[in-house]
Amino acid sequence: MLEIKPELSAAYPLNIARARSIEGWMSDVELLYLAFQAYQAKDILEIGSWCGRSTRALVDNTQGHVVAVDTWAASGDEWQKEFWSASMILESDWQFKYFTENMSDVQDKLEVYRGLSTHAAMNYAALQRQFDFIFIDASHDYKNVVLDINAWKPLVRPGGVLAGHDYDPKRWPDVVRAVNELLPEASNVVDHIWAIRIKGDENGNGSDSNTISDGL
Ligand SMILES: C[S@@+](CC[C@H](N)C(=O)[O-])C[C@H]1O[C@@H](n2cnc3c(N)ncnc32)[C@H](O)[C@@H]1O
């Protein structure tokens, strides 16, 4: 596993202060990983933004553009209830409102796609959009992780990185199983983030490599 050393923040102007102020599950080292990827990328897409913790780490550290894909539909999943408060539950559509508030000062760098991950992937593929960095943190069951990897991998620009959250065999065995089966060369880069650099031949057909020479 790659280590994020304290010198990283000093060597690069990475900013995770706003991201850290937003509820979510990403650790500091994971936010730094996203920040560092964003620092090097122009076209970024994230699937699963929730309140925007990971989104802010991306937006605040890129000179480019971030697409945030999410349904922002309260699903009732146990993992979401950890952060629910009575006032939030009473307010309809609170997740999307809270996300929008958290992004109010970075609208110029953000494109919001509200809808299902697989629909978004079909639409962006039809538009021939490609991305330098795609980060998957949506549904964590086996079927949906497989759907997400298969839908989004072709949209990573050759040389770009496909990554995802919750590579955690104890809490999310389905994520680990799907990643190991579909992307056996992926690495567990920091904490619970997996990643793979997508290589491409001259015709744009991707082949995978686990060489993540990010210096993290
Ligand atoms: C674990 S949360 C994302 C957390 C976020 N990355 C953070 O840093 O706090 C998962 C999010 O994925 C969204 N989601 C789950 N399945 C989805 C799907 N199939 N399409 C779009 N969004 C989905 C949920 O609405 C939820 O907001």
Name the residue ranges covered by the structural domains of the chain: 7-209
Asked if the model's pLDDT at residue 210 lies above 50, the reply is no
- Grade residue 86 by pLDDT with cuts at 50, 70 and 90: low
Atom of ligand 1 lying closest to residue 70 CA:
22
Mean pLDDT value of segment 72-76:
69
Q: Which residues line ligand 1 (CB under 6 A)?
A: 24-26, 48-51, 53-54, 69-73, 116-117, 137-139, 144
- Grade residue 211 by pLDDT with cuts at 50, 70 and 90: very low
pLDDT score recorded for residue 93: 85
Give nearest CA residue, ligand 1 atom 27.
50
pLDDT score recorded for residue 5: 60
Indicate the residue type of 127. Answer: L
Name the CATH topology of 7-209: Rossmann fold (3.40.50)
Averaged confidence pLDDT in the chain = 88
- Residue to probe by mutation, ligand 1, list 16, 69, 139, 165, most atoms within 8 Å of CB: 139
Task: For residue 140, report the distance from its CA to the centre of ligand 1, in Å.
Answer: 9
Least-confidence region, from 3-7, 24-28, 154-158, 192-196: 3-7
Least-confidence region, from 95-99, 160-164, 202-206: 202-206
pLDDT score recorded for residue 89: 56
* Residue 199 CA neighbour count, 13 Å, CB half: 10
Residue of 200, 214, 208 lying closest to 184 (CA atoms): 208
Residue ranges with strand state E in 121-192: 131-136, 156-164, 187-190
Least-confidence region, from 34-43, 77-86, 117-126, 157-166: 77-86
- Grade residue 216 by pLDDT with cuts at 50, 70 and 90: very low
Kindly report the pTM of this predicted structure: 0.89
Atom of ligand 1 lying closest to residue 135 CA:
6
pLDDT above 90 coverage of the chain, percent: 75
From the number of C-beta atoms within 10 Å of its C-beta (0-12, 13-18, 19+), residue 89 rates as exposed
